[in-house]
Structure 1
Amino acid sequence: MTRFVISGCNGKMGNQIAAGLKNRPNCITVAGIDAFTGVEKEFPVFSAPAEISCEADVLIDFSNPSLLSSLLELGLSRKMPLVICTTGYSKDQVAQIKKAAQSIPIFYSGNMSLGVNLLIELAKKAASVLWGQFDVEIIEKHHNQKVDAPSGTALMIADAISSVVEEEPHYEYDRHSQRKKRSKTEIGLHSVRGGTIVGEHEVLFAGPDEILSITHSAQSKEIFATGSINAALFLIGKPAGLYNMSDLLADHKEES
């Protein structure tokens, strides 16, 4: 039986993960972490990671960047794998994650969807062929409760494209104050916030007289919960290191 801790258990994603684990054989939620502890759950809920008294095998985090340091401390003290799905981290916080991954296995991804990660691979392929001839724009849309912009997924896409081109692109987040032509070495990132949009991402390659668009639309948050649970089970028994969706996909390919 694999014992899970859910960080952010009273949020929308936390509830999705808890429901998903109930339908998984040999999986159980033994504790949750949330600032709001008054919500009745089938497992104990603690207001801080350090308060957890029970044993656990892995932790999934969909919470807030402010909780990162205490989650890493918990993982390091217990040698417990962490699946970090929260977005909006600073460069210093990402550096903390990478340092902790030298001692424990950490799965870190801005998006847990299989489809989104396939979009990223397709965008890399397109960029390797079209860069310099086509302009690249990334448009992401999310619900009106999302606080970080651009999304972690949009940045993942931009970073993936940057990794396959010779010159380092410049990320342009907002052109309202710009009074100049678009440069060939920039990637535009645009954020839309409204309603209950789960998550939509489009990578636009605009060239002379033709446009290539690669899009992904999430229909529910369940796909992210499923991905995080799969990532957690993947981490069990893995050595220390920083893992992402590419590692999970490669592992599934080897099994098949």
Structure 2
Amino acid sequence: MYVLLSVLLALVLLPFIWMLSSSFKHDNEVLTVPIRWIPETFVWSNYTDIWTRVPMAGYLLNSAILAVAISSLQVLTGSFAAYGFAKIRFPGRDALFLAYIATIAVPWQAYMIPQYIMMQKAGLTNTFTVLILLQAFSAFGVFLMRQYYSTIPDELMEAARIDGLNEYGIWARIILPLSKPALASLALLTFVNTWNDYMGPFIYLSSNELWTVQIGLRSFIGQYSAQYAMIMAGSVISIIPIFLIFMAGQRNFISGIATSGLKG
């Protein structure tokens, strides 16, 4: 088993190792065959030149603004809606939940164009607002949080109601403190998806000042050639925030994923 896991780990890390190696090469050395894993000469200037060639700091800041705003909203809306689906009984609750979750199966390409037309008529294109509003709700987030809430005993809510707490108070004072692992999992998954999102910013953001890091790296791709070394250096820089956030919340993330599939 350990041998199998080691092989799988090597396969997963192989593209990252190639990207890291390529970030220290000249452009004409990146796509050489066979692959030279260790550069003959380490081009350290790739990591310094990229900050002056493009507004890399601005791209990282834009990505951080969108990722933090969307992650915060999805944690808020997902946990709030999941509490209603998991702990409040009302007619048609299960049918409504299944209908809502079924939207995950609808590909974004199916409604991408009408969605853009709606946002354009509302005058929201080329702003962060459109991306934040469109991604403030997540059916997957509601599903993840509802599964976790199902592991919390209903007796806690009944006792809180007897003590006089309303549903908002129960959600804020009982459910949320008990849901830190699931909240951390949802926040991390949403942050990573938003940080790595390419199509959303590509469609809705046209100003260079609003570009995210994923769109900004496209600046190194020309009509007939591409600066692959710069792209790889920018890619390495772009994964550092995600790596740090994952390491900081790794314990809660694993705990939240492991328990979200259990039924209490």
Q: Which has the higher contact order (CA 8 A, sep 6+)?
A: 2
TM over 0.5: no
TM-score, length-scaled by structure 2: 0.23
Where is the helix percentage greater, Structure 1 or Structure 2? 2
TM-score, length-scaled by structure 1: 0.24
Structure showing greater Rg: 2
